[in-house]
């Protein structure tokens, strides 16, 4: 028996892309795609999906709010939040609302399919633990930036030194923190010294 | 002044002369109808002098008076002159010879002052003729009847005819050049001129002067001439030069009293005495003259009396104007006080003057002279406080007079004036003068205070408007800069990366096999782009506030700041489970974000504490750092001069949300900025919400 999936997103193109990716999986079946959460209840009654994959930001609706509603009214439907924002606050909010998984839109379809399968089994999966990132090595740029951070350089100084934009520096730092599982710059530097990544 | 007294004086003299002649005529048993011209002449005189007394400064009225006086005198004296009563004859000849000149002179100004050259020439000719006649008559003619009859008389009549003819030509010119309304008046004038002068000239003067046979007697032909002054009065009233209705209104009570008195007098006279009509008319005339003489003397003396007072008054006015001018030139109140004190000293000899003015309810000594120079301000001021009426006070055993300056019920200052140097009391007039100065000083100081306030306000407003203009310009600039940054971001980062990606994808196709390294490369690039675009979106509009609320957004802000800058951000969110409208949350978040970034950028503090508290009606925000601090300017807009737009923008935002903002900062200890925003139901906030870039 295939896992019945209902997709809710107001970005049609993205939704159809996801639909195609999911239909490649043999054990998954997209029963319908809808643009407006207002149609959710009739669709749930009609198809009784196992998993609902929903975006957080929709034009007039809030995915978190809808998650709460679904969890309360249709406990058999499990919700997977699909979001463009990977801020911890969103993840936290999704968790608190009762979603089973939180998947970033840019993540691979494999991750989404995996999250759906786990959800179907009743296992919650959130990227807060970020286990999958732990062992991936730092890139050379990231190492350079980490070195600068340990020298107490500011982002602006780093961006000047490396001739990259300030925002790119921020991207690298967030990547470093994720890979080192640190909460702050200081934490990252401490961890890097412990691991012998920088001198 | 003298100019004003002179006409009254000569009228008085002429009235006296006429009275004298009247009595003389009575003694010589002249019949009653000979009196008519005298009454007509007197009527001329009185019309002249009363219109003059109403509007002495008008040129038209002055010439009207001259005409009325000279012609009145001539008419009044014509009969006595023909009866050879001295000094009537001499006066008559002189006045009638100058009458033509006066006539032309008057019509030069009335009905309008156009002056053709020929008219001026004729006027000069008549003047010469008049002088010629007078000289001949006075030098030789008085006793030579022949000369009088052959030269003087024809000359006089010719002069008069010349004047009348030139008047007619002048009116003709007026008729051609003026509007309908004026034309009507000129017709009236011509009519009256013909009716009044033609009979006397044609019937009496011409036959008498040129043909040496006596025509119609003057007392018959002259009657119609009374129309002339009446018409002129009417026209002067119509042209709004003089209002004879007002003269009548003013004198009507006096006139009725006089008429009543005369009536009573006559009744009594006839009841007890057997008086003939001629005598009673004479007595009545004399009485009437008496009244008028009384009235005129009263006027003359009154004016002479006024002179001294008026001079002082004028001086005060002049001084006041000068002081006001000084004030307008930005001179200080002290200087004005000095001028006022000088004025008092100039007006009355006093031992000293002390002027004090309240400034913010504290009396301040502005100027002191004489006895007050040696006194202590504090002691003096202790005397004056709480006194709001004129009072005589004793300071150091010296008598002083305290004049408070009151505007309605509030006292704005005081004038203390020492007693007179000769230790006498102020007389009535001096007291009045001081009171006048007091009133003027009050007016002056109050207007100066208002002026000062206005000036200060103006300065402030000018400065403010300059600043706000500057800040508007900076904001505009800032907006442009924002757009530029966005454009650069899109072009230099997103676009470049997309092009790079496209190139890499082309390699992908060329290689025709999936290279893990290349794939990771592309994936990394795309992930970076996604991150950057997402951050940019978040910077442009904090979507998270709307999705998750202010508290979560703040912790995200904290994390971001801590990751990217070497600071510790402490967030204390004291919630009372108030429902904060999304619009307000967004604004609050923007404000906090700006303040935190400001603190990171400028304070070099390692720790920033953000406290947000939801109270009953307010959302209070406090952002505190422990950095270098800065000097808080008296006006926040001054920051715009140093390009510190952040705080100005925040203040504008707070202002628009009807909130308050306070800044405490000390150099070296840090800055604490508190913002309090009222929590109201969402209003006008829809706009920003609808512009969300939904993703």
- Contact status of B486 with chain A (Cβ, < 8 Å): no
What's B425's DSSP letter? Answer: P
Q: Which residue in the set A89, A155, A183 is minimally distant from B556, CB to CB?
A: A89
- Contact status of B566 with chain A (Cβ, < 8 Å): yes
Using an 8 Å CB-CB cutoff, list residues of chain A that contact chain B. 10-11, 56-59, 62, 64, 84-85, 87-90, 92-93, 106, 139, 152, 154-155, 165, 167-171, 173-174, 177, 183-185
Q: Do A49 and A121 sit in the same domain of this protein?
A: yes
**CATH code linked to domain B316-453:** 3.30.450.40
What digits encode the pLDDT tens for the residues B429-456? 888 888 888 888 888 888 877 887 888 8
Q: Is the pLDDT of residue B686 over 60?
A: no
| φ, ψ of residue A29 in degrees (nearest 5) | -140, 120
How far apart are the C-alpha atoms of B585 and B679, rounded to whole Å?
A: 10
∠ CA B309-B313-B300, rounded to 5°: 35
Q: Do B555 and A89 touch (CB under 8 A)?
A: yes
| φ, ψ of residue A56 in degrees (nearest 5) | -80, -50
CA dist B43 → B39, B205, B562 (Å):
6, 22, 110
Q: Which residue in the set B526, B548, B566 is minimally distant from A154, CB to CB?
A: B566
Amino acid A132: pLDDT: 45
What digits encode the pLDDT tens for the residues B157-186? 888 888 888 888 888 877 777 667 677 878
- Residue A9 exposure: Cα atoms within 13 Å on the Cβ side: 23
Q: Residues of chain B with pLDDT > 90: what percent?
A: 4
Q: Is the pLDDT of residue B602 over 80?
A: yes
Q: Is the pLDDT of residue B280 over 90?
A: no
Q: Which residue in the set B492, B528, B555 is minimally distant from A171, CB to CB?
A: B528
Residue of B nearest to A92 (CA): B552
- Contact status of B479 with chain A (Cβ, < 8 Å): no
CATH value of B2-305 in 3.90.1070, 1.20.1070, 1.10.1510, 1.10.730: 1.20.1070
Q: Whats the size of chain A, residue-wise?
A: 199
∠ CA B413-B415-B416, rounded to 5°: 135
Q: Which residue in the set B492, B534, B562 is minimally distant from A84, CB to CB?
A: B534
Domain coordinates of chain B in residue numbers?
2-305, 316-453, 544-690
Mean pLDDT, range A25-42, rounded to an integer = 87
For residues B380 and A64, the model is more confident at A64
Q: Do A174 and A80 sit in the same domain of this protein?
A: no
For residues A107 and B104, the model is more confident at B104
Mean pLDDT, range B83-104, rounded to an integer = 81
Provide the number of structural domains found in chain A: 2
Cβ contacts (< 8 Å) between B570 and chain A: which residues? none
B471: how many CB neighbours lie within 10 A of its CB? 22
Environment class of residue B192 by beta-carbon count within 10 Å: exposed (0-12), middle (13-18) or buried (19+)?
A: buried
Q: Which residue in the set B527, B535, B566 is minimally distant from A167, CB to CB?
A: B535
Q: Do B556 and A59 touch (CB under 8 A)?
A: no
For residues B197 and A160, the model is more confident at A160
Whether residue A70 lies inside any domain: the answer is yes
Amino acid A187: pLDDT: 84
> Parallel, antiparallel, or unpaired for β A28-34 and B410-418?
unpaired
CATH number at residue A91: 3.40.50.2300
Q: Residues of chain B with pLDDT > 70: what percent?
A: 91
Q: Which residue in the set B527, B566, B694 is minimally distant from A59, CB to CB?
A: B694
Those residues with Cβ within 8 angstroms of residue A150's Cβ, 6 or more apart along the chain or in another chain: A189, A192, A193, A198
How far apart are the C-alpha atoms of B233 and B242, rounded to whole Å?
A: 8
Q: Is the pLDDT of residue A150 over 50?
A: yes
Give the range of the structural domain holding residue A65, as residue numbers without chain letter: 3-129
What digits encode the pLDDT tens for the residues B21-42? 888 877 776 677 777 788 888 8
- Contact status of B519 with chain A (Cβ, < 8 Å): no
Q: Is the pLDDT of residue B592 over 90?
A: yes
Q: Do B493 and A167 touch (CB under 8 A)?
A: yes
Q: What mean pLDDT value characterizes chain B?
A: 80
Amino acid A52: pLDDT: 92
- Contact status of B509 with chain A (Cβ, < 8 Å): no
Domain end residue (candidates: A93, A111, A129): A129
Cis peptide preceding B87, ω within 30 of 0: yes
Contact A164, B573 (CB under 8 A): no
How far apart are the C-alpha atoms of A151 and B632, rounded to whole Å?
A: 34
Mean pLDDT, range B275-300, rounded to an integer = 82
Q: Do A28 and A121 sit in the same domain of this protein?
A: yes
3-state secondary structure A30-46: EEEEECCHHHHHHHHHH
Q: Do A87 and A165 sit in the same domain of this protein?
A: no
Amino acid B624: pLDDT: 92
Tokens of B695: 């993703």
Q: Which residue in the set B524, B526, B544 is minimally distant from A87, CB to CB?
A: B544
Amino acid B688: pLDDT: 42
Mean pLDDT, range B270-275, rounded to an integer = 83
Q: Is the pLDDT of residue B127 over 80?
A: yes
Q: Do A120 and A67 sit in the same domain of this protein?
A: yes
Q: Do A87 and B556 touch (CB under 8 A)?
A: yes
Q: Do A31 and A82 sit in the same domain of this protein?
A: yes
Q: How confident is the model at residue B684 (pLDDT cuts 50, 70, 90)?
A: very low
Cβ contacts (< 8 Å) between B566 and chain A: which residues? 152, 154, 185
Q: Which of A167, A183, A191 to mutate to test the interface with B (most CBs of B within 10 A)?
A: A167
Q: How confident is the model at residue B589 (pLDDT cuts 50, 70, 90)?
A: very high
How far apart are the C-alpha atoms of B623 and B225, rounded to whole Å?
A: 101
Q: Is the pLDDT of residue B685 over 60?
A: no
What digits encode the pLDDT tens for the residues B378-421? 777 777 777 777 878 777 777 888 888 887 777 788 888 888 88
Q: Is the pLDDT of residue B289 over 70?
A: yes
Q: Do B564 and A106 touch (CB under 8 A)?
A: no
Q: How confident is the model at residue B675 (pLDDT cuts 50, 70, 90)?
A: very high
ipTM higher than the 0.90 cut: no
Q: Do A77 and A154 sit in the same domain of this protein?
A: no
Q: Do A88 and A175 sit in the same domain of this protein?
A: no
B316-453 matches B544-690 in fold: no
Q: Which residue in the set B530, B552, B564 is minimally distant from A89, CB to CB?
A: B552
- Contact status of B604 with chain A (Cβ, < 8 Å): no
3-state secondary structure of B375: coil
Q: Is the pLDDT of residue B539 over 80?
A: yes
Amino acid B426: pLDDT: 80
Cβ contacts (< 8 Å) between B544 and chain A: which residues? 85, 87, 89-90
Q: How confident is the model at residue B693 (pLDDT cuts 50, 70, 90)?
A: very low
Distance of CA B195 to the CA centre of its chain: 49
Mean pLDDT, range B331-355, rounded to an integer = 81
Q: Do B564 and A93 touch (CB under 8 A)?
A: no
Q: Do A52 and A123 sit in the same domain of this protein?
A: yes
Q: Do A49 and A86 sit in the same domain of this protein?
A: yes
Q: Do A90 and B528 touch (CB under 8 A)?
A: no
Q: Do A104 and A28 sit in the same domain of this protein?
A: yes
How far apart are the C-alpha atoms of B142 and B153, rounded to whole Å?
A: 12
Q: How confident is the model at residue B612 (pLDDT cuts 50, 70, 90)?
A: very high
Beta bridge partners of B400: B393, B418
3-state secondary structure of B183: helix
Beta bridge partners of B418: B400
Residue of B nearest to A11 (CA): B695
- Residue A49 exposure: Cα atoms within 13 Å on the Cβ side: 27
Q: What mean pLDDT value characterizes chain A?
A: 84
CA dist B684 → B235, B619, B656, B689 (Å):
72, 18, 11, 10
- Range in B187-191, B562-566, B685-689 with the lowest mean pLDDT: B685-689
Q: Do A87 and B563 touch (CB under 8 A)?
A: no
Q: Which residue in the set B489, B524, B548 is minimally distant from A90, CB to CB?
A: B548
- Contact status of B132 with chain A (Cβ, < 8 Å): no
Q: How confident is the model at residue B318 (pLDDT cuts 50, 70, 90)?
A: confident
Amino acid B214: pLDDT: 66
Q: Which top CATH class is B544-690? A: alpha beta
Tokens of B433: 């003068």
3-state secondary structure of B210: helix
Q: Which of B548, B559, B560, B686 to mutate to test the interface with A (most CBs of A within 10 A)?
A: B548
Distance from the A1 Cα atom to the nearest Cα atom in chain B, whole angstroms: 34
Amino acid B3: pLDDT: 67
Domain end residue (candidates: A129, A144, A166): A129
Q: Do A55 and A99 sit in the same domain of this protein?
A: yes
Amino acid B674: pLDDT: 93
Whether residue A199 lies inside any domain: the answer is no
Contact B560, B534 (CB under 8 A): no
Tokens of B231: 């018409």
Mean pLDDT, range A137-153, rounded to an integer = 86
Torsion sign across C-alpha atoms B118, B120, B121, B125: positive
What digits encode the pLDDT tens for the residues B179-207? 676 778 788 888 888 888 888 888 877 77
Amino acid B593: pLDDT: 92
For residues B553 and B217, the model is more confident at B553
C-alpha dihedral, A150 to A153 to A157 to A162, nearest 10°: -10
Token pair 């000036």: residue? B455
Domain end residue (candidates: A110, A129, A148): A129
B583: how many CB neighbours lie within 10 A of its CB? 20
Q: How confident is the model at residue A51 (pLDDT cuts 50, 70, 90)?
A: very high
User: Which of A62, A69, A68 has its CA nearest to residue A85?
Assistant: A62
């Amino acid at each position: 028996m295939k896992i019945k999936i209902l997709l809710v997103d107001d970005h049609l193109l993205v939704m159809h892309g996801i639909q195609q990716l999911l239909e490649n999986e043999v054990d998954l079946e997209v029963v319908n795609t809808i643009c407006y959460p207002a149609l959710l209840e009739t669709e749930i009654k009609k198809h009784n999906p196992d998993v609902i994959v929903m975006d957080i930001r929709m034009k007039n609706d809030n995915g978190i709010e809808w998650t709460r509603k679904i969890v309360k009214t249709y406990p058999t439907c499990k919700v997977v939040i699909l979001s463009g924002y990977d801020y911890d606050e969103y993840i936290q909010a999704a968790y608190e609302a009762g979603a089973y998984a939180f998947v970033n839109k840019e993540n691979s379809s494999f991750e989404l399919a995996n999250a759906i399968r786990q959800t179907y089994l009743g296992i919650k999966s959130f990227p807060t633990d970020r286990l999958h990132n732990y062992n991936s090595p730092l890139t050379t740029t990231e190492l350079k930036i980490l070195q600068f951070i340990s020298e107490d350089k500011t982002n602006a100084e780093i961006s000047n030194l490396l001739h990259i934009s300030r925002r790119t520096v921020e991207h690298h730092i967030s990547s470093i923190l994720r890979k080192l599982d640190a909460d702050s710059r200081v934490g990252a530097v401490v961890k890097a010294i412990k691991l012998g990544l920088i001198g | 002044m003298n100019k004003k007294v002179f006409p009254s004086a000569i009228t008085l003299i002429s009235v006296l002369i006429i009275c004298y002649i009247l009595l003389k005529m009575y003694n010589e048993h002249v019949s009653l109808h000979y009196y008519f011209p005298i009454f007509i002449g007197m009527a001329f005189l009185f019309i002249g002098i009363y219109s003059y007394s109403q509007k002495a400064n008008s040129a038209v009225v002055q010439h009207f008076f001259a005409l009325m006086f000279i012609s009145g005198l001539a008419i009044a004296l014509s009969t006595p002159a023909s009866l050879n009563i001295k000094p009537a004859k001499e006066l008559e000849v002189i006045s009638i010879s100058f009458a033509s000149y006066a006539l032309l002179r008057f019509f030069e100004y009335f009905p309008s002052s156009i002056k053709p050259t020929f008219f001026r020439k004729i006027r000069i000719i008549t003047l010469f003729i008049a002088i010629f006649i007078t000289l001949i008559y006075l030098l030789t003619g008085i006793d030579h009847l022949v000369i009088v009859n052959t030269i003087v008389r024809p000359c006089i009549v010719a002069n008069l005819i010349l004047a009348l003819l030139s008047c007619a030509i002048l009116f003709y010119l007026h008729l051609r050049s003026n509007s309908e309304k004026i034309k009507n008046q000129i017709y009236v004038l011509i009519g009256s001129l013909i009716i009044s002068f033609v009979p006397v000239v044609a019937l009496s003067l011409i036959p008498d002067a040129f043909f040496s046979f006596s025509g119609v007697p003057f007392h018959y032909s002259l009657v119609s001439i009374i129309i002339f002054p009446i018409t002129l009065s009417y026209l002067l009233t119509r042209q709004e030069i003089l209002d004879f209705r007002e003269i009548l209104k003013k004198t009507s009570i006096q006139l009725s009293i006089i008429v009543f008195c005369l009536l009573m007098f006559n009744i009594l006279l006839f009841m007890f005495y057997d008086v003939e009509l001629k005598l009673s008319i004479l007595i009545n005339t004399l009485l009437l003259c008496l009244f008028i003489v009384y009235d005129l003397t009263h006027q003359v003396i009154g004016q002479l009396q006024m002179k001294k007072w008026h001079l002082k008054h004028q001086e005060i006015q002049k001084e006041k104007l000068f002081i006001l001018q000084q004030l307008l030139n930005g001179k200080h109140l002290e200087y004005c006080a000095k001028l006022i004190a000088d004025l008092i000293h100039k007006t009355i000899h006093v031992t000293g003057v002390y002027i004090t003015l309240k400034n913010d309810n504290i009396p301040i000594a502005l100027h002191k002279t004489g006895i007050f120079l040696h006194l202590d301000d504090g002691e003096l001021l202790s005397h004056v406080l709480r006194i709001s009426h004129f009072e005589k006070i004793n300071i150091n055993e010296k008598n002083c007079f305290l004049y408070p300056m009151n505007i309605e019920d509030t006292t704005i200052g005081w004038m203390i004036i020492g007693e007179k140097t000769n230790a006498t009391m102020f007389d009535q007039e001096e007291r009045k003068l001081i009171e006048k100065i007091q009133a003027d000083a009050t007016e002056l100081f109050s207007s100066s205070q208002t002026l000062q306030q206005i000036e200060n306000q103006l300065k402030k407003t000018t400065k403010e408007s300059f600043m706000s203009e500057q800040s508007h310009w900076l904001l505009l600039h800032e907006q442009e800069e924002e757009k530029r940054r966005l454009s650069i971001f899109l072009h230099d980062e997103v676009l470049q990366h997309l092009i790079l990606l496209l190139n890499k994808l082309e390699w992908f196709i060329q290689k025709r096999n999936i290279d893990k390294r290349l794939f990771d490369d592309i994936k990394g690039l795309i992930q970076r782009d996604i991150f950057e675009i997402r951050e940019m979106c978040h910077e442009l509009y904090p979507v998270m506030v709307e999705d998750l609320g202010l508290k979560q957004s703040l912790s995200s802000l904290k994390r971001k700041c801590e990751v990217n800058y070497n600071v510790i951000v402490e967030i204390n969110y004291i919630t009372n489970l108030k429902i904060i409208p999304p619009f307000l949350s967004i604004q609050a978040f923007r404000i906090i974000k700006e303040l935190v970034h400001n603190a990171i950028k400028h304070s070099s503090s390692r720790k920033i504490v953000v406290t947000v508290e939801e109270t009953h009606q307010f959302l209070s925000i406090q952002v505190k750092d422990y950095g270098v601090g800065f000097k808080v300017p008296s006006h926040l807009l001054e920051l715009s001069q140093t390009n510190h737009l952040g705080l100005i923008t925040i203040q504008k935002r707070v202002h628009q949300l009807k909130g308050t903002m306070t800044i405490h900062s000390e150099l070296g200890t840090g800055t604490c900025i508190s913002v309090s925003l009222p929590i109201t139901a969402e209003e006008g906030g829809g706009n920003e919400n609808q512009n969300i870039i939904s993703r």
